[in-house]
Structure 1
């Protein structure tokens, strides 16, 4: 397959922000397409990767000379490798607001802390996750659902540069060896391996640190620390529960999802779309797909997450709540291909559960029968965009 550039939805927001900010920061997981995106958007700016040891050495030993090589500005990739540059960039853009610096990095934890400290008010920060379904719609139009979930959404898959059976094992090895080892100084990497695989088995479930701690034989505090690293490196995302300060007994525990279904399949030991089709985690992986699509839509508009789920002590639950201003949109997610009236049960009752007007309701499922006329829309997953905007 010929390598081709797929324009990312985030491009339009970055181009707009470029008119108002001297510094643009793009963060996200490894290999989500950050470098390709910024090099395509800003071909007029010189590019430097701080993964390159010679470049990094120059930048660290003489930051002023390094940054002054180009008066118009520059692209600095993997900037978390030379965080001290940020203070110098601050001084330069304060002195000359026309200079432009485009920064990227995959270590949210280290990078965002430094960026917000050094460049507060001077940078727009964007998060780039793997491809959204709408970005690959033309390429993946004929791809069956199980193949879609198994392949995942990393750009390398869709540009023809890699395949799942090679990409995800290599990705995890790089991630574990570089990011996790550096951050946590874990002595027993086998325990961390077990932890991340157990997390994959809990997709779509409430995340209870004490349960995982007991299974692995570590403390709850360690589980919480390890989870924060998975979040900060964009391996997992937590979906917060919706609750108001009322007397209702609503859960305050978040649900766990992975930012990519292909990576999750690898961690679950699923080795083919055919195996996925009959795996007990298929429904959870489909739910994961829909939740992360909703998250990508927000990030690709340059906005923060507005996603929640609802669950109370009576086990009443709505899979996904979108908060649109003061209103809510309720979504039930079903991996079945055949519609059942039960799919709408929770949505019919949700007006009495949430505090605030309900703008709309939808069931997103794998079937082809659709109905947009009623109070509750019935939509195939390929038309999820219709309810996200």
Structure 2
């Protein structure tokens, strides 16, 4: 297999910016997302060490102070969680003694702030950056729809908000011609997912890769990081999560269906999967104008390729309108893409979902900008859009008023057009292409 060219990661600019301002930057994300490759870009003037190397790991555990002191800055430590709490405390001591920015770049395949055996958080000293699998914007070398939305005029309050939103609506539609992406291309992207190693791999080989990946993560990382011994049920839980991707998270339902002993055990196992960036949750959204909202989160597999493999679905199956998981996996694909774009966005944005307490009104994704603007997204697997598909967006627009900047129905058709005031239909490919 020919070597695939290195895809530039958009988070690189964020990491460089944070290193110039913070003493420590922690880059964390799932295994095989490209953290090591990215971290090595910063090692020309410093020192790089991986704690996946047993000898280096032993040295970091046995004498963490010397391990830190002998290295030139910046010190890049790959898989830092394997060095344990003592190593992190020595890093804290070192940066307190010399507060110059950019001293340490730490990477980890687990969420640094949730690893059970790490009690030191480096609060006030570190900035945390998430690196997910490849985004479609990175594959296509574009900025992405979220950046385009957030780059609009800042929210101007109730007087001018609707006017600014209308201008945004026009700008989003301007210049967008008929998209050239087909349902088959979407199915291929969903089934492939974003792990860099799988870019040119066949579906059969991807399935083998994912089987080995899950086995390695469960056998090594979960046992090592949590001390858990009974972890054989974790792959079953991950498969159950894949079957429920894009649905509300009800821990008791998972416990009952899997036959786990207690709700606490099930919740702990889910926490392990989140810690390793295998699943993500989207919180429920509500605002002062929308008080009757459920706050239960939705659960998503953090990569659609992983989800499809767990469910034994390839691109051909995902083309079938009768396939039950076609819609949920497409929604998961969109949520993951928006989450990746938000991770390297210049403007802070919070992602959530909305469901009313009576269950009658749902909106797949809410993106809320720091200035108060709200963007609503609905994801549809069909090739056409009708009024049923955007009625909840229209309801939210009318309910919250000027804060509602734009509602977007993303679908597998090929035309971008206006549906109603501040509501547009866009092909899913608009997430990453003009």
TM-score normalised over the length of structure 1: 0.90
Is residue 154 of structure 2 the alignment partner of residue 154 of structure 1? no
CA contact (8 A) 2:45 2:74 kept: no
> Unaligned regions of 5+ residues in structure 1, if any?
none
Partner of 1:301: 345
Partner of 1:264: 307
Moved more, 72-81 or 85-94: 85-94
Moved more, 246-255 or 44-53: 246-255
Question: Secondary structure of 1:47's partner?
Answer: strand
Partner of 1:103: 106
CA contact (8 A) 1:5 1:159 kept: no
Matches within 5 A, 1:43-58: 43-58=44-59
Alignment CA distance shift 1:28-1:168 (3 Å): same
Question: Secondary structure of 2:247's partner?
Answer: coil
Q: 1:138 offset after TM fit, Å?
A: 5.7
Aligned length: 385
Q: 1:103 offset after TM fit, Å?
A: 0.5
Give deviations 1:74-127, integer Å, cap 9, x for gaps.
211011011211211222222233462111111215666777835222211111
CA contact (8 A) 2:210 2:306 kept: yes
| Distance in structure 1 (CA, Å) of the matches to 2:217 and 2:12 | 26
Moved more, 233-242 or 375-384: 375-384
Give deviations 1:346-379, integer Å, cap 9, x for gaps.
2121234558721111111111111158531211
Aligned alpha-carbon RMSD (Å): 2.9
The structure, 1 or 2, with the larger RCO (C-alpha pairs under 8 Å, 6+ apart) is 2
Moved more, 313-322 or 351-360: 351-360
- Of 370, 380, 386, which aligns to 2:427? 380
Is residue 15 of structure 2 the alignment partner of residue 10 of structure 1? no
- Of 216, 219, 227, which aligns to 1:174? 216
Partner of 1:223: 266
CA contact (8 A) 1:213 1:220 kept: yes
Question: Secondary structure of 2:25's partner?
Answer: strand
Question: Secondary structure of 2:124's partner?
Answer: coil
Question: Secondary structure of 1:150's partner?
Answer: helix
Moved more, 71-80 or 279-288: 71-80
| Distance in structure 2 (CA, Å) of the matches to 1:246 and 1:354 | 6
Question: Secondary structure of 2:134's partner?
Answer: coil
Partner of 1:320: 365
Partner of 2:156: none
- Of 71, 87, 90, which aligns to 1:85? 87
Moved more, 166-175 or 305-314: 305-314
CA contact (8 A) 2:327 2:380 kept: yes
CA contact (8 A) 2:248 2:298 kept: yes
Is residue 140 of structure 2 the alignment partner of residue 94 of structure 1? no
CA contact (8 A) 1:109 1:233 kept: no
Matches within 5 A, 1:58-77: 58-77=59-78
Give deviations 1:30-88, integer Å, cap 9, x for gaps.
11111111112333322111111111112222222222223323211011011211211
CA contact (8 A) 2:214 2:235 kept: no
TM-score normalised over the length of structure 2: 0.81
Alignment CA distance shift 1:71-1:340 (3 Å): same
